Structure 1
């Protein structure tokens, strides 16, 4: 059917107007160490930008070109930036995870991230190079959109971040985590929990006005419950996807998840109201007596009125019944993706390997980074890029054809929750068991419940979509997405400790299309040279025979066959005893040498001592 000429002219004018309104937004980031004490309990070094911390909020309008020039001035730590939730259409090379779509940026090097923001909503940015963002390298990224269905329903918008916080650098915590001394894999316990990177925050509001609150969990580990005393929230967005309005009293926000909610203020200024965040204590193996799990901040109606602490007793949060995000309906009414072309049945497990430490697995593969970033293997492999072999045995890479409907069935063989994030896409959430609420943790002490394709409730006609979804303890979820965005996309647990244990896999989506449509800037290859990382070849760095994986990085070997649980424990404690014994010998043998000398406590102090 031919379009009328006047209609074509109108459409062209609309496109031209949109292009004229779009702008380039540029940020120059000099990433350095600074000192901060956000909870008032301990000074510590954090990753700052341009000498400041907290970091700047990135703000753009839908359609803008975002340019971030990052210089790594840390001196002793590599870095990168992942723009969490950005789909990066045609710019998978700007996605940010080191050894997936780029090389780690070493100290003294720069990398420019440059892409068009053709989406809307609430996002965040963070470092994606090993243990990195828990040291403070994370902040909100807001995409403003005056055309949203609820744009006329609020007077102002406010961004709220929540996070767990550690007093030690992650480089000091990490060696105590994946180790024979921690065979259960108990995650490091945070020292506090922050609200907008501080405590006791007062948010001034005006009576009768409606505010859009953008809620972001930028933590590395712990999910948090969120509510406002005597106020009702109306959910209108999750992870950048607009939803039909849904009333909620309490939200459960895992690491990396976002909600936007409309909250209408009262018409009185007699009192101020508590904003309450409660850490999900079930995730913690132990709860230190000095760890405050619930925090009170306030909607400030009247600066002269009192600011009372919220009255609540936190035990295991079982009395908190949050809104179930499976009940949300996307406002665009995108229908259920039917008849998946690819169905992946995966199981999460945590297992002790031959070194006595605990690791994480998807179908017995613990993600182990390749010697060449996976995207660079795509770009250099020619026609072999469609062969999953070239990406290595331990990256758990899956090659997808463009346009395929992909289903991921994720069963949880572990007793903990896992918020899984997919880069490059928002996926449909079509099933989860158990649901949020009073029974969410009931299955942690029983046998795992796995998904049965022949016996499940009806899938929603318009499934909710988001990019981070919580996998219940010993339960399952089912998600679907369409492979309509050629690129290399990480799928991983967003508890940073679990990612470091290997809880991840990679999707290589339409690799030949990537070769045709993506151009990697020379500067990115220069970063690889500066970092001493190869940017051609298969996962083993082999450029002669891409199917030869000799020398590839491998996961730690399995325990020898026949080991029982008792045998594993015996092995672990034997190793511990051996290390303690050697440590005592070394201690007494070197005591005379150490006498009178104080060793630096961190690599950073050592470097500064050398500079002095």
Structure 2
């Protein structure tokens, strides 16, 4: 029963413990103005199923019959047909919008033949419900084909979040959706900076391929560009290099107002995105889970897993259309960009009369050239040095925690992420090493992901479910690696095991995450906690690990109110220094948020507290394990 899965966090909520589903309402009705003492039980029913872009439901849409593009269950994406993984026949998946402290109940039915799955609630720390984090073999068993699983947890983290599959490459194939948690106005220090926070002003960005992700994993025998298009919010998007039929997404605004926009990056590839809005500044007011002091910028550099909230001021501008532009940046060399439209109206009465078909259409204005910069000003979050570039650490959070910003950490760990290349001939001669395969080109090399030369291996059962089987020898770190888990290539020793870093419950934990090997920028995401970004910067090329550990990175706390996030940009060659209160007992993943980098082992596990500190799942929680009998049974 659900009351065994969800337990109240204070006595005032005990009345919800029994017969919780009797209080449930359809999830879409939980979109409302938030108020005190108005807690809802928000129920969503999702089915995972393989579906088609421009399938039979779309009629003659691909032949230019626009009315058919709005048929029920017609998904057009960028106008190029392919199969994809859908939740409820939508792309992206259905949006979830609730108020802080609402109870979320999501039934996920797996109807995707031959696939197991899970959902991770990116941004939800899961206090007290660690087994709802959605990481297969860490917090739950993967959900087999034909079975269902009920996720249920409190929406305790206000902010702009999203959810996505954490099984294989399923996020890249369409299993992602927005998750917005609002709160009462009195909790919002930036409430005076805008007039409207509208549901339709959520911008959910993703790069998109014209083939299933498995076509690129473990890889192609030749180098190719993976991403071919941008998808923006709904299924509608077009880019300058696309000849397909696909109307542009339009964001409608009234003149002389201020609007809050919520931006989510659900991207899959290694390329950062750049956001610009023609003739408009953006005022950053929040990063993921936390409000920051308003900061005016012109351009935003953002990577997979990151979210930002910004305000657009529509005062004193002509009533016309303005381009919203997304660009793909290095290391991707293809000039890929996408567009949406910011459309001005004279008053809200005209907005109220718009129907679905009028919310997406083409625009006869010529988009800007790829190398044309507009507006040309402050760029937030870029890892590059320069006058126009504002590092993320220059944002001031409203939170003030002296023990974080001024004191010393209780424990500090260095983490060196890398994707070393290994010759295919070397990998294929050892059966164990097949798990490292990641071929991306025809140069005879494959790649693995690693942290401190350890490629992460998942346990064969979810650790929370069988605590009696878990002991220190079950895990490894750089000081306790067993030789049978390792192999030597060139000057490197690479190991594969369940890599764990352990912190005491309620300690101040510090992670110094370093990239001096892999010549691209990585988005690093932590489950179960938010961290303060104490510092971020570049290092000299060819610096050694020994130099880094021996003082090359400054440890002085520079910022009184460092920004508070769960996903951060790790530059090359560079570092980020992160601190958090280890106050959420459990097993939590820290990983690169590029889909394929996680699959090949660019991750590790953070254990907070002892097993006795962790809340155990209910007795009827699904179990899974290896079955290896001795002989015929």
- TM-score normalised by the chain length of structure 2: 0.72
Match of 1:555 in 2: none
CA RMSD in angstroms, aligned pairs only: 3.3
Query: How many residue pairs are counted as aligned between the two chains?
Result: 498
Q: Is 2:449 the counterpart of 1:360?
A: yes
> Which of the numbers 296, 306, 312 marks the counterpart of 1:247?
296
Aligned counterpart, 1:67: 105
Q: Which residue in 1 is equivalent to 2:468? A: 380
- Pairing 1:150–2:162 present: no
Query: Structure 1 residues 468 and 455 mapped into 2: Cα distance closer, same or farther (>3 Å)?
Result: closer
CA 1:492–1:446: 2 relative to 1, 3 Å: same
The one of 592, 617, 622 aligned to 1:519: 617
Between the aligned partners of 1:499 and 1:305, the Cα distance in structure 2 is 37
The 1:522/1:108 distance shift into structure 2, 3 A limit, reads: same
What corresponds to 2:365 in structure 1?
308
Q: Distance in 1 between matches of 2:378 and 2:549?
A: 24
Write out aligned runs for 1:10-409 (5 A): 20-36=37-53, 38-147=76-185, 148-157=188-197, 158-176=201-219, 181=221, 189-196=226-233, 197-199=235-237, 200-221=248-269, 222-280=271-329, 282-284=330-332, 286-287=333-334, 293-302=336-345, 308-314=365-371, 322-323=379-380, 324-335=391-402, 337=404, 338-353=407-422, 354-355=426-427, 356-377=445-466, 379-381=467-469, 384=471, 388=475, 394-409=497-512
Q: Is the 8 A contact 1:163 1:194 kept in 2?
A: yes
Residue in 1 aligned with 2:514? 411
Please state if 1:427 is matched with 2:531: yes
CA distance in 1, matches of 2:138, 2:13: 38
Q: Structure 1 residue 256: deviation in Å?
A: 0.6
Structure 1 runs not aligned, ≥5 long:
1-10, 435-441, 535-540, 544-612
More strand as a share of residues = 2
Q: Deviations over 1:284-303 (max 9, x none)?
A: 2x52xxxx512221111159
Gap regions ≥5 residues in structure 2: 1-9, 16-33, 55-75, 238-247, 346-357, 381-390, 428-444, 482-495
Q: Which whole-Å deviations, capped at 9, do the CAs of 1:571-602 have from their partners, x for residues lacking one?
A: xxxxxxxxxxxxxxxxxxxxxxxxxxxxxxxx
CA change 1:309–1:395 in 2 (3 A) is farther
For 1:316 and 1:500, how far apart are their aligned partners in 2? 36
Tell me the SS of whatever aligns to 2:160.
strand
Q: SS of the residue aligned with 1:374?
A: coil
Counterpart position of 1:568: none
User: Equivalent residue of 2:448, what SS?
Assistant: strand
1:243–1:331 CA contact under 8 A, matched in 2: yes
Aligned-pair CA distance for 1:339: 1.5
C-alpha deviation, 1:202, in angstroms: 1.4
CA distance in 2 between partners of 1:414 and 1:320 (Å)? 29
Q: How has the CA–CA distance of structure 1 residues 385 and 90 changed in structure 2, closer, same or farther, with 3 Å as cutoff?
A: farther
More off after superposition, 470-479 vs 453-462:
453-462
How many angstroms apart in 2 are the aligned matches of 1:386 and 1:116? 34
User: Secondary structure of 1:63's match?
Assistant: coil
The separation in 2 between residues aligned to 1:32 and 1:306, in whole angstroms, is 34
